[in-house]
Structure 1
Amino acid sequence: MSMDEDLRAIEAVLFAADAPLTVKQITGYVGDHADIKALLEELATHYAERGIRLVNNGGQWHFQTAPDLAHLLRQERESVRKLSRAATETLAIIAYHEPVSRAEIESIRGVQTSKGTLDVLMELEWIRPAGRRETPGRPLIYATTPEFLVHFGLGSRRDLPGIADLRAAGLLDPVDVAMEQAMGEGQSDDDGDDQEEAAAVDYQDSVAEMPDNP
């Protein structure tokens, strides 16, 4: 196949995919005769100023609406979900310290972390088991997932905001204690009265929907 044909093949595969694809997955469709990564970069450049963009989040490629046009295709629907303070803090600690064990998470938070908290984050597909620590007892360790990066629009963990950025944006409440502990910028004086189901954090998902065809 020529380079133009390879580009068209990659474009077609990504357009038809119902989920972001890795370079390895795309190679499985197109073949290993071409430099798939270089071709993806070329396609991304081609779409950079168009109505849709080809983006790479955590090593997974997919098309998405150009940010400045998203409002044309979106209908807002509020879907209130509750993520407990414990889950929010646990996710922050894993993101900034991965891979970490449950005992390490508890050491940073200063309180016990229930298995249910970790289960919630795994059901959301934001964290995953990442093996076992080679220490006595071989505890299970946890890390974030590609789905975590995609959901929060991160190219990699290097794009995670720093404490100063979060504070400036007013995003540290109610997870400021855990985040500052996780990033080594302060110690919590948590009074130990933090219950797993207390202080739930409400957040809203804006669901993007294409308008009905005329």
Structure 2
Amino acid sequence: MTIDPEHLRMAEALLFASREPLDEAALAERLPDGADIGALLATLQDSYKARGVNLVRLAGKWCFLTAPDLAWLLEMERETTRKLSRAALETLAIIAYHQPVTRAEIEEIRGVGLSRGTMDVLFDAGWIRPRGRRRTPGRPVTYGVTEEFLIHFGLDDIKDLPGFDEMKAAGLLNLEPGSIFADLATTEEDPIIDEEEEEY
């Protein structure tokens, strides 16, 4: 099927001007009837793959980002006013790799109690959300990561999270006894399996 050059220009303009990543449905709403959205995106992605900006898919949506090898050009030295605490980072990692997960399960994996402030920081960042209630006694709330989490960390799907071997090779794992990652190797095969849960 031949791509209409005008449709291509329109899709390019929409993606360039949008402040947020756009999904295919949003593009289809704004483009003329009959526009082949998949073909347009594939063409644009190919056209921009060797340029200063690339068309990438994040969390199932599309946006232009600076080419990874040119990111250093845009780096700015600035004072960071707020960093995630170790507790928040560990909690986020547990939720990402074990979702849907309850508060009690997070505490069991970390080996310490979870303060309300730690969860609040992750909620404020927009990186976690309630997933529903587990169908077990007490019906505890389960948590998972959000679309904002995927976009912030440059992931299209939660399955794109690095595995044990990748993180170990990059030196990102603390495998000392008691570390939350010490047993990741045993759970890598199915780190993200939705258990039966009930939405609110």
**Shorter-chain TM-score: what band?**
0.7 to 0.9
**CA distance, structure 2, for counterparts of residue 56 and residue 183 of structure 1:** 28
Retained in 2: the 8 A contact 1:102–1:113? yes
1:164-203 alignment to 2 at 5 Å? 164-173=165-174, 177-182=179-184, 184=186
Gapped regions of structure 2 (runs ≥ 5): 188-200
RMSD of the alignment, in Å?
2.4
Query: Is the alpha carbon distance of 1:21 and 1:180 closer, same or farther for their aligned partners in structure 2, counting shifts above 3 Å?
Result: farther
Cα drift, residue 33 of structure 1: 3.3
Gapped regions of structure 1 (runs ≥ 5): 186-214
**CA distance, structure 2, for counterparts of residue 27 and residue 150 of structure 1:** 21
Give the SS at the match of 1:184.
helix
Q: Could you tell me the TM-score, scaled by structure 2's length?
A: 0.80
User: Which residue of structure 2 aligns with residue 206 of structure 1?
Assistant: none
Q: Could you tell me the TM-score, scaled by structure 1's length?
A: 0.75
Q: How many residues align?
A: 184
**CA distance, structure 2, for counterparts of residue 182 and residue 163 of structure 1:** 6
Cα drift, residue 30 of structure 1: 2.2
* 1:127 corresponds to 2:137: no
Letter of the 1:178 counterpart = I
User: Which residue of structure 2 aligns with residue 199 of structure 1?
Assistant: none
User: Which residue of structure 2 aligns with residue 143 of structure 1?
Assistant: 144
Retained in 1: the 8 A contact 2:54–2:66? yes
**CA distance, structure 2, for counterparts of residue 38 and residue 99 of structure 1:** 35
Letter of the 1:177 counterpart = S
**CA distance, structure 2, for counterparts of residue 67 and residue 12 of structure 1:** 22
Give the SS at the match of 1:13.
helix
String of CA shifts for 1:187-209, please: whole Å, max 9, x gaps: xxxxxxxxxxxxxxxxxxxxxxx
Query: Is the alpha carbon distance of 1:38 and 1:142 closer, same or farther for their aligned partners in structure 2, counting shifts above 3 Å?
Result: farther
String of CA shifts for 1:124-151, please: whole Å, max 9, x gaps: 1111112222223322211111221222
User: Which residue of structure 1 aligns with residue 98 of structure 2?
Assistant: 97
Query: Is the alpha carbon distance of 1:37 and 1:130 closer, same or farther for their aligned partners in structure 2, counting shifts above 3 Å?
Result: farther
Retained in 1: the 8 A contact 2:150–2:156? yes
Give the SS at the match of 2:179.
helix
Structure with the greater relative contact order (CA < 8 A, sep ≥ 6): 1 or 2?
1
Retained in 2: the 8 A contact 1:94–1:105? yes
What is the percentage of aligned positions where both structures have the same residue?
Answer: 54
Give the SS at the match of 1:21.
coil
Letter of the 1:165 counterpart = E
Retained in 2: the 8 A contact 1:149–1:156? yes
Cα drift, residue 59 of structure 1: 0.8
